[in-house]
Chains A and B, each alone.
Chain A
Amino acid sequence: MMDSTVKYPAPQGNPETKAFWDATVEGKLMIKRCTACGEPHYFPRSICPFCFSDKTVWEESSGEGEIYTFSLMRKSASGPYAIGYVTLKEGPSLLTNFVDCDMSSLKIGQKVKVVFKTTDGAPLPFFTPV
């Protein structure tokens, strides 16, 4: 399977997102939640993109969700890959690839869970069918 041979780029990181990448080393997927309006969001910001409060806190995601949409990309020098959006149980949707699976049998609405793949830096989150 193509995803075991791909070398993924290491995240650059910055002060605002450092806690997220520290957590992926521990195998945890973090989201941000605003304690002023209660809304969760991803990718993480220090200021809430909804109510603009700075009272945002880190929260560990269940890492579980379902496929919102996907596409099997066949025009790729490194072989086909499945790109898609996952809607997390907690609410936010995020862009990802579906890995360690039969990419031809993916379905919208399918249950998936997070898995981490190594890079030269912090691990990156991917998703695989449950």
Chain B
Amino acid sequence: MSIKGNAYLAGIYEHPARHAPDKSTAQLHAEVARGVLEDAGLTKADVDGYFCAGDAPGGVMAMADYLGLKVRHFDSTDTGGCSYLVHLGHAAEAIAAGRCSVALITLAGKPRTGAMPPRAQGAEADFEAAYGATTHNIYGMCAMRHMHEFGTTSEQLAWIKVAASHHAQYNEHAMLRDVVTVEDVLNSPMISDPLHRMDCCVVTDGGGALIVTTEAMARSLKKPLVRMIGAGEALKGPRGGKDLNLTYSAGVWSGPAAFAMAGVTPKDIKYASIYDSFTITVLMQLEDLGFCKKGEGGKFVADGNLISGVGKLPFNTDGGGLCNNHPVNRGGMTKIIEAVRQLRGEAHPKVQVPNCDLALAHGTGGLLGVRHAASTCILERV
């Protein structure tokens, strides 16, 4: 059975906290699980599938036990920040196959309160770990090469942060609510060339959760119906140093797969949640997904084209990772949540896209300039 149209997003929940020094990580997982069940109108006893990633203390066995879940299907795929988009696709597969009927997906953690555990390393460790690769400088290297090949400018990148800030001003929970200008971004301190501080996302505690379910269950609940019609996932790495190309991501594969399944094109999308760990992340993804041609992302994002009510492609209307929330340094969860808000008509009235019936949520995980994953999900209001 195809997963197209067979899995419904019946529950969404974003933890309101951005700094949670007095809570445990497991506790935050439980809080978002409670929150999402309340949003959906379900109880814990209804959950028969559970999905979590590397942020869940002790992994899926410990987390399911802590939460007191009894499930017949589980998945702990970890692809960094896009894990939850991958989980959404996998949950849809499980529901289409009859492996579960109510899937719970949780994310939570506290990077604002304390340091995160070191990134897991593979066989490359001896050959790379000494060189100090961090998210900032790896994404800086992507931006540097993009500028070199396509003439992309810091001003163009800054417009992405400007658009996010226009949206964040209306979000009472957003970490950063001040509207900023291109000049503000360019005048913020340089972190790793050519990325300034305001090219970088926020670091926040908190989390979020989703409920994915069957059509029959979704129709028995009270929320507007939102279903998945396309999903794609992909991996990319330098593969022996031969395939190194920092100007595109695995989104060039996950995007077309999702669009093909959904039977729609980028032109049809009314709202897009695009992973925004850095401004360059957004610019590259917009190109890779086909919203503009490769190399023309700079022109595409300039002059407010991503601002709801102003430009052609409203994006990250919650303020995104750049301004609102990037819980546990993993932004895939909040990308799905805001897309569902838009499809339900529950976004803030100042940023709600009129008659939003088709939305995309896309993310990458890992390090864009090294080894990473991408996942694209296309959702529609029924």
In the complex, A76 Cα to B127 Cα: how many Å? 21
Flag whether B148 is at the interface (Cβ < 8 A).
yes
Chain B hits for A12, CB < 8 A: 125-126
Question: Is the CB–CB distance between B130 and A71 below 8 Å?
Answer: no
Flag whether B244 is at the interface (Cβ < 8 A).
yes
Contact of A41 among B138, B192, B241 (CB under 8 A): B241
Flag whether A113 is at the interface (Cβ < 8 A).
no
Nearest opposing residue in chain B for A44, CB measure:
B127
In the complex, A12 Cα to B138 Cα: how many Å? 24
Q: Which of A1-54 contact B (CB under 8 A)?
A: 8-9, 11-13, 17, 21, 39-43, 45, 48-50
Question: Is the CB–CB distance between A73 and B137 below 8 Å?
Answer: yes
In the complex, A91 Cα to B130 Cα: how many Å? 22
Question: Is the CB–CB distance between B370 and A73 below 8 Å?
Answer: no
In the complex, A76 Cα to B132 Cα: how many Å? 9
In the complex, A68 Cα to B144 Cα: how many Å? 10
In the complex, A96 Cα to B132 Cα: how many Å? 9
Chain B hits for A119, CB < 8 A: 130
Question: Is the CB–CB distance between A69 and B144 below 8 Å?
Answer: yes
Flag whether B246 is at the interface (Cβ < 8 A).
yes
Q: Which of B106-152 contact A (CB under 8 A)?
A: 123-134, 136-138, 140-145, 148
Question: Is the CB–CB distance between B192 and A72 below 8 Å?
Answer: yes
Chain B hits for A94, CB < 8 A: 127, 241
Given contacts A43-B124, A71-B192, A108-B145, contact A95 B133 (CB under 8 A): yes
Chain A hits for B126, CB < 8 A: 11-13, 17, 21, 43
Given contacts A43-B123, A83-B132, contact A71 B244 (CB under 8 A): no
Question: Is the CB–CB distance between B244 and A85 below 8 Å?
Answer: yes
In the complex, A31 Cα to B141 Cα: how many Å? 24
Flag whether B240 is at the interface (Cβ < 8 A).
yes
Chain B hits for A95, CB < 8 A: 127-128, 131, 133, 370
Flag whether A124 is at the interface (Cβ < 8 A).
yes
What distance in Å separates the Cβ of A4 from its nearest Cβ neighbour in chain B? 15
Nearest opposing residue in chain A for B246, CB measure:
A69
Contact of B193 among A8, A9, A40, A72 (CB under 8 A): A72
Chain B hits for A87, CB < 8 A: 244
A-B contact pairs, 25 of them (CB 8 A): A9-B129, A12-B126, A41-B241, A43-B123, A43-B241, A45-B123, A49-B239, A49-B240, A50-B242, A69-B144, A71-B144, A71-B193, A72-B193, A76-B132, A83-B133, A83-B137, A85-B141, A85-B244, A87-B244, A88-B241, A95-B133, A95-B370, A97-B130, A97-B132, A119-B130
> 9 nearest interchain CB pairs?
A41-B240, A92-B241, A71-B140, A43-B127, A93-B244, A69-B145, A11-B126, A73-B137, A49-B240
Using a CB–CB distance below 8 Å, which chain B residues touch chain A?
A: 123-134, 136-138, 140-145, 148, 189-195, 238-242, 244, 246, 369-370
